[in-house]
Every structure is written in structure tokens, then in C-alpha cells.
Structure 1
Amino acid sequence: MSALNELEGLGQAVWLDFVDRKFLEAGGLKKLVEEDGLTGVTSNPSIFEKAMGHGDAYDASLADYDKAHPEAATLDRYESLAVQDIKAAAETLAPVYEKLDGKDGYVSLEVSPYIADDTDAAIAEAAKLWKMVDRTNVMIKIPGTLAGAPAIAATIRAGINVNVTLLFSLDAYKRVADAYAMGLEERVKAGEPIDRIASVASFFVSRIDGKIDDVIDKRLKDGDAEADALRAVRGKVAIANAKLAYAWYQDFMASDRWQALAAKGAQPQRLLWASTAVKNPDYPDTLYIDQLIGPDTVNTMPPKTMDAFRDHGTAASTLTQGVDDARHVLAEAERLGLDLGGVTGALVEEGVASFAKAFDDLLGSIAAKQPATA
């Protein structure tokens, strides 16, 4: 049994942060499910850009679609390809979904990054994608922006599973947890069931250390008088931030508000650790898995990180360890003027912009593949 398999016994689900037509057709996902206990898959515009924008794996499917829809817009052509992959992944994960009674076995598909700040558009697109995929073990990804929170509540109210993405701060996480509960509460008031609705809150980690460490390194280079204190928090802020988010989650699960929903069969909105590939080669390549293992959580890993953890990761309950130390790290970060709030706010904007750029490139590459002629 590998370290990946051991995570299930510690309450953490393993999801793959990758999807690709050739990988699916070759049985790669099925193998991970059977051998490593994988229970979910995530996608995003960057992942699809890498998969669809290069090579010819999607050309035959695109040609077939173009013959049937010769006047289709580029966005429609993209969606036809993406939905095929999401359906295939959902079929592979369907046995997991059934075995776990809807508690896991999900694949995620993201709304367009162009509408991250448009509540009504996000609600409409979530409903459209949900209908197109037509699988109960699918989650629609909606960014956890200010505009995204009411879209999340409305989408949950409509009975659609949601993966909230691009969360970096505790305040943003609290906002979307409230939105999830609100959507469930509205269903309860309407006499509608809530026991088969699922959601995860994707809390990003490594990008935070990347930003904070850059600031620390510059200050160290400039001979900052707080050099020792800066070194002491370097590479620790992201994990501390995540641990305090989980501590808040535990408190929320124990609250009267959540317990009332749980009594109606509500599933917890699990925290999902995203951006878990280490950006700094000086850090252990399994850092953001080793330190964030705990019950009712998900770790979504790109293939290389998954391989690393399988080979030499350490499966142990770590998420609830060192919480006081985590508070100290964040207090020190504030005292030192590292501006975690400013960093997380900038990361949301950068994340949306990055996905939009990937989507631009993706649509451009699809547009360049001319419709087939009879």
C-alpha cells in the first residue's frame, strides 16, 4: 500500500488536477482509481489549454462536431470537447460515486473565467454546463470572488454541485461557506432535499508562499533588521493560513446553524487543497500534502506531485497539529508587514487573469483548426 492509499484512512480524499483525452482513453484515470484510491478529478482552463491546444488528440472529435454544426461558434466547439472529457471522467468515477453514496467520485468543470465578476452570467453558465454534462457526479467550478458568492448560493439552491475555486484568504472562505449554507437553507425552506448536494471549497496554498517568499527574499537581500524573524516564517505562511481555515471549518461544523442542516442530511463543504505543487525547488516536493492531511478534506494533485507522494510522502494526521504555531506565524507575518491580505487579494485577480489568458489561447487554438469540409 502506497502513501496515497493511506490518506483515505486519515479522512482525506485524493483528486487528480489533470484531464486529457489520451490519458482517459488509455485507462490512466481508471488505473489511479483502482490502484491509488483516487476519488475525483479537477479541470480548469489552463489544464484544457494544455490538453486541447497542442497536438491532434481532439481533432477527430472536433471534425465530427463541425460536420454536424458547421456554423458553431468557437466557444461551442470548445464546450463540445470539454463536455466529452468530463462525461468520460464522470463515467470512470461513477462506481466511486455509487460506492460512497454521493459523498465523492466527482469531476469538476469550470465556468468561463470571463464571467468571474458577473453573478448572473455565472449562475446561467453553471446551469447550462450542468445540463450539458448531465451527470450527477459533476461539480461546476465557480470562482470565490465577491460576485461568485451569490452565484454559488443560487447554484446550490438549484440543486447543482459546486466546486468553489480561487480561494486564498480566510475571509473569502467564510463568505463562500456562508453561501453554501444559504443555498441549502433555501432548499430546506422550499421543502426540497439537500442530502445529495455536494460542494468543495478549493483553498490555494503554494502560490501564497511564492508571493510572500519573494518579498522576504528581497528584504533579506536588502539587509532588513528583522532578518531572523523573516527567515523564521519563510515557507510557512501558506500552510499556517490553510490550518487556520480548517480550524474555522471545524468550528462551523459544530455550530447550531450547520447542525440544523446536517440533521436534514447536508454534506459538509469539504476544504480542498489546491495549488499543491511546490514552486520553490528548495522545499520538499510533498510539502503541501504532508502538512495538510486531515478528515473531511481533499488534496488535488497534479500528476508529478501525486507520483512524488506515492513514492516518498508521509501519510500522517497533520492538519490539526501546530495550530497555535500557525497563529504565531500569521501574527508574525502581520507584524513584519508582509501584507497577507494584499497578497491574497492580488492572487485572486492574478488567478482570474491567468485562467482568462489560458482560455484566450485555448479558444485561439481551436479557432485555428478550420471546420472540416464534406
Structure 2
Amino acid sequence: MKKTLIFLAFILSFSSCKKEVPKPVIVKKEVPKPEIRFGYKIDDYKVIQDTIESGESFGIILDRHHVMYPKINQIAAVVKDTFDVRRVRAGKPYTILASKDSTEKAQVFIYKHDKINATILDFKDSTITAMRYKKPIKILEKEIQGTITSSLSATMDSLGLNTNLTWRIADIYAWTLDFYKLQKGDTFKFVYEEKFIDDSTFAGYGKVKSAVFKHRGKDFYAFRFLADSILNIHEYYDENAKMLRSQFLKSPIKFQYRISSRYNLRRKIAYYGNRVKPHRGTDFAARIGTPIIATANGTVVESTRRGGNGKFVKIKHNNTYSTQYLHMSRQAVKKGQYVKQGDVIGYVGMTGNTGGPHVCYRFWKYGRQVDPLKEKLPAAKPMKKEVKPVFFEFIQPLKYQLDYDRVPVEEPTEVNEIIAKN
């Protein structure tokens, strides 16, 4: 019996010393997610990225990537309502998704209009499709403020801002500020949007939400607001709900110009031997090639060259007003064409009788030439009375942000205070 107990004790002690065998650890290998671009699994194709060269067409590009011309013509016919293949432009990037086999035949053509928008033509199967594609956009609100040193464009450049934003601001204030008369020390502040794709790639500017210019001690505010839901057009208004836009712009050139000669019926002109010769226009001097814009909506009634006027454009706005733009280097519109306020209609030049590059701006009222700088020009349609209370409430935080460099913090209500105490 004693021997049996000793043997059992030995067995137990031996088993207790025996190490436990660890359970095998199963390591799950992560399968990489397929890369999806433009809605396609990129790994399934040979990806070709290129830029359209001068002289290249849609047909030439697809032919180079092994698509036969009967197929190319079929694609062009099917997609014409969505995408006109004749309008592909040199300098535009494109992507081709080609088969991975030995033929490397193009199956998808992606035309990139800009960093955000593209058109996708899919012809890998018997069914040909065309669709618009828009990259997801991240929008950030930004603020910028500055002090005029020489000009708006120079100041904006010094702040690292794109020319597109400068032109946007010039458009907003085109009716209320003469950018040539901005003074050194004038200040401005804008609240605007910047667009980003892939979180970090800059893709342009969004809305300018609010702005203020301090010029000659006066604040010129601009607030973007939808006052008419039927027209569904946002306009800019000042702090008193007065629309900044009027029926006519103050100048046919946005900025970087000077008035070299005014409307003067008794002016002596050196070109004509200092004889008194009425000058029925206003001369805006600017560099050759500077865009000239229509000061109001209307129909082009003349776009030609004649005598001392040189190359010019004349626009009829309505039965009351017409405008004319002389001495262009070239015109950008044709007779009979309808133009909108701000459209480029030509470029500054020196054609006709002129001593330097400028545009002579002439203004007719009831068939008689008048001085546009002295005329009380018609304003745009005012905001409806019933909309004004909504507008004033809407701009309150925006104006506070412009005035005090911060967004207002809502004051706690009585109810909130009681909750906080409890």
C-alpha cells in the first residue's frame, strides 16, 4: 500500500512539472482593400495618365490605344448629348483604363475638366455610357484681412491669394468702389470658402460669404444673401439691405486702370492740333490686352472697325441706354450676340486715332451721348420689405465676425442659467 502511494505521488509531481503546450496563435493576414478611382477597381486595368497635346483629338487618342475608328465614331454618336468629343482641349489631363492583356485596348476614357469635375466614357462592353463625375469636396471657411499698399491685386498677391479670388472681390464691389481710387492704408477683410480634394489638394474658391472695405474712413460691407427664392440667385447687399449691384458698372475695366481723359465738350485735343473738339467719351487707360467688359446686359449692335474709332463694339441695353467701347486691339463678340454684364467683349488696344493704349467708353441716353460718371444710373431691383427682417437677422453674426475678428458667442438664456446652477 505504501509503495502504491509513493508511486502515485511521483506520477502527480511529474505531471505538475510538465509544461503546458501553448495554443497555436492564428495570425489573420489583412487583405489590402482594392483601390477604387472614379468608381473602378484600378487593379483590374492598366492605368494610362496623360495630357492632351496641341493638335490631338479624341479619335487620335483612342486610335493610339487600339480602338478602331468605327467604334470611335459609335462612341462619339452615343455620348454627344453628354459630352461633345470635338471639344477636348489641349492641356487638359485625361486617364485611360486599358485592358491588362497583350492588346492593352482602351476600355474607359476619363476627361478631367478641372481638379473636381470629370466626364467618364465607358465602352468596354457593347453598351456605351457617359456620365459626369465629381470628386468629394471638403470646404473650409477662411478669413483674410489686409492693408492696401499700392493696389488690391498687389496686396492680394502679397498675401498669397490666387488671382481668381481678387477678380471675385472686384466683381462684388464693381458697382460701389473705384479700385483705381483705393488709397494706401485702406483695409479690407473677407470671409470666404476654400475647396479641397483628397483632404489636402487645393481645388479653388467657394463662396465669398461676407466682406468689408474701409475706404476713406467709411465701411463698405457686402453680405451674400438669397432674397428671391423664385429667381434663386444670390446677390450681395450692404448692412442696410441695399443691393450692391446696379444696372450699370462704373467702369468697362475691372481694375488697374486710370481715367486719362473725361467727357468734355470743350476739350482741346493735341492729335487735332489743339483745336477744340468735343470729347464725348471717358478714356480708361490700361495695358494693351487688358480685358474690356460689358457694363450692362444687352445686344451687340456693332462689332467692326471704322475710322478714328478703330476696332469697337456697341451694345444696345434697352430703348433708353446704349454703350460703345473704342480703340480695341480685337473684339471678342459679334453683331447680334447677347452679352451679360461683366462679359469680356474685347481687349484694350491702340487702333484708330489714339495716342496711347486705352478704351474710350461712350454712353448714350435716349440717343444722346452723356457723361456716365455724372448720370444717376438706374439701380437694381430692391429687396422686398417682408424679406428685410430675415436679412438683418442673417447678417448679424456675419457683421460681428467682420467687426470683431471672431464669431459671436450666444448669450445664455434664463433657462440655460437655471440648468447650469442645478
Query: Where on the TM-score scale, by shorter chain, does this alignment land: which range?
Result: under 0.3
TM-score, normalised by the number of residues in structure 2: 0.22
Higher helix share: 1
Q: Which has the higher contact order (CA 8 A, sep 6+)?
A: 1
Higher strand share: 2
